């Protein structure tokens, strides 16, 4: 049986809080390693991340109880009340992740071939992990529901059900106007900052370059020498 058997639920389930925590852990690792590897121009960290992702999603698809990210997620939310969701849609979503990880393993590790496909898959995985960890949106679960064309019990976030939005879920035109005003203010701030004397003109801000150069040029104090011992005659 895939998933957990819980009294009161007719289908195998998973703890949605645990799954979201696991997605957040993977998202943090992915974005940190990806940006670090890009900045340092190193391929090995990205390769190790891909291997770890492949193993984690392979275990998820077989038995999620032993997936490393989900174990860490369970520890992180162990004090929270479980939120049960159907296991089958999650497994389908994880099989999609396993397929993407398999492509990365073949192309980037065995073939040593870096292409736009690798960047697109990496970006897609990061977006999917971000959506699930931050908003509880499992796009793979939605695809699962649409492909089967039948009702899915305990679909994550009830996205498989057709229902009317409650008042607190509706977005008013005033809220949309506030969002647009926020975007205008941020854009105006960017334009104003670019007109300043120290505006950005390259990959990094000139002040950052000056700071790095000053750090590299700073003299390193020599190690302190022990005072010579005085011998009495």
Q: Where are the domains of the chain?
A: 13-163
The more confident residue out of 231 and 114 is 114
The predicted pLDDT at position 225 comes to 58
Cα 15 to Cα 32, 60, 87, 179, 201: the distances in Å are 26, 13, 9, 33, 48
Alpha-carbon distance of 60 to 3, in angstroms, equals: 10
The tokens for 196 are 């300043």
The predicted pLDDT at position 86 comes to 83
**Residue 134 DSSP symbol:** I
The more confident residue out of 98 and 142 is 98
Confidence of residue 200 (pLDDT cuts 50, 70, 90): low
The predicted pLDDT at position 25 comes to 93
Mean pLDDT along residues 57-71? 91
pLDDT > 60? residue 49: yes
Cα 209 to Cα 186, 191, 200, 206: the distances in Å are 25, 22, 11, 5
The predicted pLDDT at position 229 comes to 56
The predicted pLDDT at position 168 comes to 76
Confidence of residue 166 (pLDDT cuts 50, 70, 90): confident
Count the residues in the chain: 233
Mean pLDDT along residues 78-93? 86
Looking up tokens 């793979």 gives 140
pTM of the model: 0.68
How far the first Cα of the chain sits from its last, in Å, is: 87
pLDDT > 70? residue 158: no
Residues facing 92 on adjacent strands: none
Supply the Cα-derived Rg of the chain in whole angstroms: 25
Alpha-carbon distance of 93 to 141, in angstroms, equals: 6
Mean residue pLDDT of the chain comes to: 79
pLDDT > 70? residue 102: yes
Alpha-carbon distance of 178 to 175, in angstroms, equals: 5
């Amino acid at each position: 049986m895939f998933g957990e058997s819980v009294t009161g639920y007719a289908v195998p389930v998973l703890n949605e809080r645990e799954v979201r925590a696991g997605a957040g852990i993977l998202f943090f690792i992915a974005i940190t390693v990806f940006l670090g590897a890009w900045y340092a121009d190193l391929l090995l960290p990205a390769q190790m991340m891909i291997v770890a992702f492949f193993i984690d999603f392979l275990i998820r698809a077989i038995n999620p109880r032993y997936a490393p990210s989900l174990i860490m997620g369970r520890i992180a939310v162990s004090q929270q009340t479980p939120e049960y969701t159907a296991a089958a849609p999650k497994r389908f979503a994880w099989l999609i992740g396993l397929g993407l990880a398999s492509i990365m393993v073949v192309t980037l590790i065995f073939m040593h071939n870096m292409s736009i496909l690798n960047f697109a898959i990496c970006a897609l995985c990061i977006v999917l992990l971000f959506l699930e960890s931050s908003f509880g949106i499992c796009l793979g679960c939605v695809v699962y529901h649409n492909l089967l064309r039948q009702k899915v019990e305990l679909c994550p976030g009830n996205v498989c059900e057709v229902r009317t939005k409650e008042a607190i879920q509706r977005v008013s035109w005033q809220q949309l106007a506030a969002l647009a005003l926020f975007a205008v203010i941020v854009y105006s701030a960017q334009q104003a900052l670019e007109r300043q004397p120290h505006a950005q003109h390259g990959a990094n801000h000139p002040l950052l370059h000056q700071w790095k150069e000053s750090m590299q040029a700073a003299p390193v104090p020599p190690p302190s020498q022990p005072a010579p011992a005085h011998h009495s005659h």
